[in-house]
Structure 1
Amino acid sequence: MLTVCLPGVYAARSDTRFLLESLSCEHISAGSKVLDIGTGTGALAVAAAVRGAAVTAVDVSRMALASAFCNGLLRGRRIRIRRGDLFSPVRGHRFDLIVSNPPYVPESPFPAPGSQSRAWDAGPAGREVLDRLCVQSRRMLAPDGVLLIVQSSVADVPKTCDLLRRSGLRPEVVARARGRFGPVMRERALWLEQNGLITAGTRDEDLVVVRGVRA
């Protein structure tokens, strides 16, 4: 089926598809409240909406939100879109499920130019957005609510689990897949080595889905 991806919007790639597999295992019923943080083209938001969820999609990009909204309409679903940073546009609301494919690539001092880089650049350790998601998610979840995040093993999966646990969620790695670096990580491999983020010669990573349940 046709998918709208307006200029400058991060198109769904292997990490999004990997997270979609875990999303498909979650219990979603008619009226479940789902939040998609950093929606991009809305692939995750649409997948939840077609299962009957009431979905809110958040992104800092107007073009991304327009893409997500159009992709929802193409599948006969209306997605509520909100522009802003992480949870700021939905303060005061609670959700049964939060999903996110956040930026998680360690950012070199000389990132490649282009408006799409904000879709993956996440500070020197790749954790600028992940840390905030981990710390802030609990207060946005309904009782027994679930958080699903996808990230690279390069961005410190144990830290994600530790932060979730300390924030009051029960973390678990529910999916892991080994693969070669994508183009951005390949271009930064020597910088990653020099800064101790990968061992010398490493050119592959795990994609990991972490699930946290509100305790």
Structure 2
Amino acid sequence: MWLLRPPGVYRPQEDTWLLADALRTAPLPARASVLDVCTGTGALAVTAGRLGAAEVTAIDVSRRAATAAWVNGRVNGVPIRALRGHFGDLVGRERFDVILANPPYVPARQVAPHGKARAWDAGDRGRAVLDPLCAVIPLLLNEDGMALIVHSELCGSDSTVHALRGSGLKASVIARQVVPFGPVMRSRTEWLVSQGLVEPGQDHEELVVIRADVPTR
């Protein structure tokens, strides 16, 4: 898959491909409508299109990311409707069969309001985007819909599962992968240790994919 990645747009990496693999084994419902939240380059949106999604929407607060997703869809033969905005803007307007999300989840002293760090910094517990996302997912899913979310265990898979179940969804962890710290995590290891989020000397984290389903009636 060839992908354009303008400066400041999140580069697809281990978390992206872990979620893509989870999507391949899900699988997609026939003629599914898919929403890719915090799309970045649109790598997951392209993957959904290649797997047979009938309609693919990608949304990101970054104008560059939304543009990149549209271009990457065209280059890879997947028609993508790319939107610049917040996923909460879609509540009450649209619903989808599948929601994919690789949101910012790296614990940080504060949420980055702009710039490239906005793609990963997510507050002191890494849940500044995850918590609002868990709250609106039930409002964006069709009947029998499914959501797949990837994030680090550092920000609490149990918290995500409980939030989704509290919203009436069935939820569980379906995939895990241990990966070494990248440059962002290495640059703030001392602070992460001081917050009790990692152990002294720790140089890796566990990624998790959480699946949430609207219960069948």
TM range (shorter): over 0.9
Runs of 4 or more, structure 1, over 6 Å off, are none
Per the TM alignment, residue 64 of structure 1 is displaced from its structure 2 partner at its CA by 0.7
Retained in 2: the 8 A contact 1:58–1:89? no
For the aligned residues, what is the CA RMSD?
1.9
Match of 1:197 in 2: 197
Question: Partner residue of 1:70?
Answer: 71
Find the aligned partners of 1:106 and 1:84 in 2 and give their Cα distance: 23
Give the CA deviation at 1:26: 2.2
- The whole-number CA distance in structure 2 between the counterparts of 1:50 and 1:204 is 32
Aligned equivalent of 1:209: 209
Partner of 1:32 in structure 2?
Answer: 32
User: Residues of 1 paired with 2:99 and 2:49: CA distance?
Assistant: 13
Residue 52 of structure 1: aligned partner: 52
| Contact in 2 for aligned 1:96/1:141 (Cα 8 Å) | yes
Shift of the 76–109 alpha-carbon distance from structure 1 to 2, 3 Å rule, reads closer
| Displacement after TM superposition at 1:52 (Å) | 2.8
> Residues 25-174 of structure 1 correspond to what in structure 2 (within 5 A)?
25-29=25-29, 31-53=31-53, 54-89=55-90, 91-108=92-109, 115-174=115-174
Structure 1 counterpart SS, 2:83:
strand
Distance 1:110-1:32 versus aligned 2 partners, 3 A rule = closer
Shift of 1:29: 4.8
Equivalent residue letter for 2:189: A
Match in the other structure for 1:7? 7
1:83 to 1:109, Cα distance in 2 relative to 1, 3 A: closer
Residue 202 of structure 1: CA displacement? 2.1
1:9-30 deviation digits (Å, cap 9, x = unpaired): 1111111011110011123255
Cα offset for 1:51? 2.5
Residue ranges of structure 2 left out of the alignment (5+ in a row) = none
TM-score (norm 2): 0.92
Corresponding letter in the other structure for 1:63:
R
Q: Is the 8 A contact 1:29 1:51 kept in 2?
A: no
Q: Aligned letter for 2:135?
A: V
TM-score, with length taken from structure 1: 0.93
Q: For this pair of structures, how many residues does the alignment match?
A: 214
Aligned CA distance change for structure 1 residues 186 and 39 (closer, same or farther; 3 Å) = same
User: In the alignment, is the contact (CA less than 8 A) between 1:42 and 1:67 conserved in 2?
Assistant: yes
Deviation at 1:189, TM superposition (A): 1.0
Aligned residues with identical type, % of pairs: 46
